[in-house]
Structure formats: structure tokens, C-alpha cells
Structure 1
Amino acid sequence: MARSKEEISSILSDLNLKRDTYNVIKYSDEVVEVAKTKYGNILNRTSIIEIIREFKENNKFKYTLSFSKFIDIIVYSLKIFKPINIINEYNGTTVVRYIANYTYISPYEIALSLLSRSFLSHYSALYVNDLTLNKPKDIYINKEQSKKYKGDSPMISQSRIDYAFSKKMRRTNMTYSFNYDNIYYKVHVLNSKNTNNTGIITKNVLGFSSPIRTTNIERTLVDVVVRPGYSGGTTEILEAFILAKNISDKSKIWDYLKKFDYSYPYYKSIAFYMKYAGYDYKEVLKKRYGSDYRNDLIFYLDYQMINTHIEKEIGIYFPKILQSLMHKKSKE
């Protein structure tokens, strides 16, 4: 609904604006509705240009109205939106997002605005699925790669496993950072293997302005096991399995792992976490991997661990720091 002449005149006077801004002020409420309906509560340069174009075509804005003039009025005069500068830490460039002032926007929503059709994963998915008590300032957004031809999987030997996990976990170099409400956040942009978006859901999250895409509980548990460095580490992951015990579908976890077809025996990692989170896991492990699931290959719970111990029943090295939590759960 357009603002009244009296209201517009009052705004022009109060903000010391010129008459050529009249129509932008007049239809500012409509701008908000169009933005919310078509683009959500976070705008970028492209979406703002589209809004201006639409209002010009409907003869509501003058054809001489520029992008910068529109921003001056909507952002700096009326303060309907506020700018957030997001720095690409890889090349030093800056992108700007215009965040609605009429509702609270989560920093996780700002992060997702960087990549179309992206979803939260790993530590961020633990957070929105209530599997951590922390609110991480490192945000992980993900977009699956396109399908690729998969050749024969290489033979996995103990020496190959030992070498791979003696090194640091490979990390993305595509990161962004931004300051929001005087808190700095870092966004890690991931490109996971193609799974046809298995286990990716749209979820309403308390404190978010609109539904977001994220991995579900079961997909999240698989992802954090595979990339512990993106997930707060092994203690955080074990705590997540404990929290998920009564709200997760255990069969779905194993189904996802099988579908994702990893070369390394991550089933040992999942069995470890299930064991010390109090799950019944042995029967399904034997059913899916046979009686030789305790094969000669010894796996690793994380990369570059120090002070390691071996869990002999499953055949996996784990960090000593987990022992206190493991003993606590085994006594319950």
C-alpha cells in the first residue's frame, strides 16, 4: 500500500530529502513486500536492480532513478535495509548484502545468501539440528558437485590409511568473513560429492527469518564423521551422537553411508561413535559388513591425532581426550 501524501511530506521534511525521491518513499512499503515475496529478507545488487526495473515498468519510479540513489533512500535514509560487507578471503574482494531491518536475520542466512541453492552442513548443521550446545561462528555452507564419472576405487591398504591420516585434513580455501552485530563470522564454502541431495531438507529454525536448507540429522552425522575438522572435532561429534540417540533413524545413517560409497572404512568411525553413545550397533554392523568387520585394517577417528589409543573391538585409533566422555557413557 502506498504511503499518503502527508506521510511522504513529513518524511521528506524530517530527512531533508529532495522531491525527486518522492516516489521511492511513496512506494517503499511495496518495495518491502516485493522484496520479501520474490527475494527474501536479504538482497544483493542483482535483486535490487530487478526491483527497480519492475517499479519503473509499472510507472511507480522515474526512469532516471539510479541504483545508488535508490540505495541512498532505502538504506541510508529510510533504513529499511542495512548493508553487510562480506570479504572474500581468497582474493580480497568484497560483496555486499542488504539485510532487512524490519526483522531479525540470522548470520547463517547471510552466509547462505553467498551461494544459490546452498545448504548448511557439518558444524552448522549440528547447530540447526540441535546437536550441539554451541553457536559456532564458523559457518559451513555446501553445494553438491555435478555428477562425475566414478572409476574403480583404489585398493585401500594400511599404509595408505596411515599416510593419509598422518597429514592435516584437506580444507577449502574458499572462505568469506563478515561483521554482524559486532561479531565476526567466517564462512567456509564446501563442494561435497554428488549424492542427488540425499538427506537435504528445508527446515524452520528458531531465530531465523525464513526456512533454510540443511542436511538432516542422519546426513549430518555421516558428514561430520567424514570431515571432523569441519565439525568441531571428535568430542563435539561424540556429543552429537549422544544427543541424536533418541531422535535419529539409525538405519538411515547406515543407508546414507552405503550410498555415499566412500573408499575409506568410515563405518568403523560410525560404529565407534554409536558404541560410546549407547546405540545398539553390532547386529546391523555384522549384517551390513559381515563377520569380518573387524578386519585387519586399523582406521583413524580423525586426522593428525596425538596421544592416540586403539579401540580393539572395532579397530580404530581415537584421541586420548575422548576417554573421559567414553567412560562416562559406558557407566550409564
Structure 2
Amino acid sequence: MKSNSKKLAKKNEHIVKSMISDFNYNVINQKEIIELLYSVRKVYGFTNYRLVDFIEYIEDICNVEEVSSVNERMSVIPLYAKPKADIYDLAAASSRSSYFSFYTAITIHGLTLQLPKHIYMTNERNSYIKYDNTLKQEAIDTAFNKKPRQTTNIRTIQNYKLHLINGQSNNRLGVVPFRNCYFVTDVERTILDSVARPFYSGGVTQVLEAIINAKNVIDVDKLVYYYNQMHYIYPYHQALGFYLEKAGYENKHLFLFLK
């Protein structure tokens, strides 16, 4: 770069620093880094910056660290983390439309003492796919005897596995803000999701532990409302009632699910 451009860049360094510090998230993804570059190019001294120049600059001046996200095809997707970024920031940067769910939601809500190395995020489909919910017992038995389908969209970030799950559209029922800029399923939705798909929540033992630990915070009426809104094909209410019974919930709560 020319000497004059370097001087201008030094003079306007504070502008770029502010752009990075004021950015909504603690981690910048590929799409966002390019959008930031377009904005930075409007600042005198940075008009000729290439992407590689910009990344090198923010790593040096703003203490931004490049972190690799590796997908199932072993393709490396770079993320750009500010100093205070953690795994939740890194995971959320991988899918802005997704929300934290299953075992990760259990962890966020403090319903487990475990420190899982697997992060789960759900991205709802745009529209609800209606299925025939008049199943015969034989079909139910067959379905439950099969190995459950699990997402193959898994990324490795640092020493964590990020599972990106495509979910049925439920109009983000029970999805609440987390850290002001992210989202997570609330306790009731988390319990329902975990009962239906325990393999995303550490297994049945961990699901039971979460339900036991949720005893003083869960709203059972809300749980019933969510269940009715989610139009499950399979009779998960029976499994839910079983968990509630094992967790020592009152009989007045059990009859709603053991019918």
C-alpha cells in the first residue's frame, strides 16, 4: 500500500475499531465479514483493502481471532471471534436463523451439572408439513423400533461438535431471547423436545435429570399447551407422563399426560 494510504488508515483506525466493537455479535461469519469490508472500504485509507488485508488488519488491531469451523465434508469455514467470544457465540455465527435447543437448552437453563461437548441448534422449516396423525399401533411400534434419524449436518468448532437440526415449523413456539441477540427454547419447550428426541439431549437419563431439576420452575399448564400446539404424530404424552411420574411430580400433573 502507498504511504499516504497507510497514514490515512492510521488516522481513521478508530472508525474501523468502532465498526468491529459495535458489531452486534461476538463472532463474525463469512457473509458478515464481507459486508463489513464493503463498509470499511468507504473509509479513507481503506478503499483498496482486499478481504485478506481486512482480516489481517482486524486480527492485528482489534484482537480478532480466526477460528475454524469444519463441516462433515471436512471443508473449513472461517469464523472471526472477538476476545470475549465463547462457544455459544461461535455456534450462533454458523446459523443466524437457528436457536439453541435440546441438550444445549438444558445446559443454558441450568437443568444439568454436565458440561456437554455437543451443541444443538434448530432451524425451523418455513412452513408446516402436515402428516397423517392417525397411526395404527403396528406403525408406531415399527417406527420406535427403528434407529432414529439424526442430523448429519455436524461441524467441529474447537473441541465441540455443533449439530445443526432442521425442525418442523412451529412458529418458534416457546423460543425466547438469550443474551439479547440469540434465542433458546424455554424450559417447557426444551422438555418436550428432549422427551421426543432424547438422543439430542444426552439420552433418557439426562432427560429425566433435567425434568427433576425443572420441578420448581416448569409451568405444567404451559407444557400441556405446547404439546397440543405441536401436533405430534406419535403419543409422546405417554412418555412425558412416565418421566413426570418418575421425577415425582404431583398426581394432578400426571393425569394430563397419562390418559
The residue aligned with 2:192 is 222
C-alpha RMSD of the superposition: 2.2
1:199 aligns with 2:178: no
**Higher Rg:** 1
Q: Distance in 2 between matches of 1:171 and 1:285?
A: 30
Residue identity over aligned pairs, in percent, reads 30
1:125-174 deviations in whole A, cap 9, x for unaligned? 001011111121110011111213524324231x3233222222210011
Q: Deviations for 1:44-75, whole angstroms, at most 9, x for unmatched residues?
A: 23322322322332x43342221111222221
SS at match of 1:247: coil
Query: Which residue of 71, 89, 102 corresponds with 1:88?
Result: 71
Q: Which runs of 5+ in 2 are unaligned?
A: none
Counterpart residue number, 1:124: 104
Cα separation, 2, equivalents of 1:162 and 1:192: 23
User: CA distance change for structure 1 residues 165 and 155 in 2, over 3 Å: closer, same or farther?
Assistant: closer
Structure 1 residue aligned with 2:164: 189
Instruction: Indicate if the aligned counterparts of 2:25 and 2:181 stay in contact, CA closer than 8 A.
Output: no
Letter in 1 for 2:157: F
2:126 to 122, 128, 146: 146
- Are residues 24 and 245 of structure 1, via their aligned partners in 2, closer, same or farther at CA, if it must alter by over 3 Å? farther
Q: What aligned pairs does 1:249-260 form with structure 2 within 5 A after superposition? A: 249-260=219-230
Q: CA deviation at 1:276?
A: 1.6
* 1:24-43 equivalences in 2 (<5 Å): 24-43=9-28
- 2:24/2:181 contact within 8 Å kept: no
- Compute the TM-score of the two structures, normalised by the length of structure 1: 0.72
Paired residue total:
258
Deviation at 1:92, TM superposition (A): 2.3
In structure 1, give the amino acid aligned to 2:202. G
Match of 1:74, SS state, is helix
Q: Quote the Cα distance in structure 1 between the aligned partners of 2:136 and 2:10.
A: 66
Residues in 2 aligned to 1:25 and 1:272: alpha-carbon distance in whole angstroms: 65
- Structure 1 match to 2:216: 246
Distance 1:284-1:34 versus aligned 2 partners, 3 A rule: same
1:1-332 aligned within 5 A: 20-57=5-42, 59-75=43-59, 77-78=60-61, 80-89=63-72, 91-101=73-83, 104-157=84-137, 159-179=138-158, 184-204=159-179, 211-280=181-250, 282-284=251-253, 286=255, 288=256, 293=259
Q: Say which SS state the counterpart of residue 48 (structure 1) adopts.
A: helix
Q: 1:32 to 1:131 in 2, by over 3 A?
A: farther
The answer to whether the 8 A contact 1:55-1:61 is kept is no
Counterpart CA distance in 1 for 2:135 and 2:31 is 48
Quick one: distance in 2 between partners of 1:226 and 1:28?
Answer: 52
Whole-Å separation in 1 of the counterparts to 2:25 and 2:9? 19
Q: 2:124 is paired with a residue of what secondary structure? A: coil
Gaps of 5+ in 1: 1-17, 205-209, 294-332
Greater RCO (Cα-Cα under 8 Å, separation 6 or more): 2
Compared with structure 1, are the counterparts of its residues 21 and 86 closer, same or farther at alpha carbon in structure 2 (3 Å cutoff)? farther
Distance in 2 (CA, whole Å) between partners of 1:137 and 1:26 is 44
**Hey, what does 1:7 align to over in structure 2?**
none
- Partner secondary structure for residue 143 of structure 1: strand
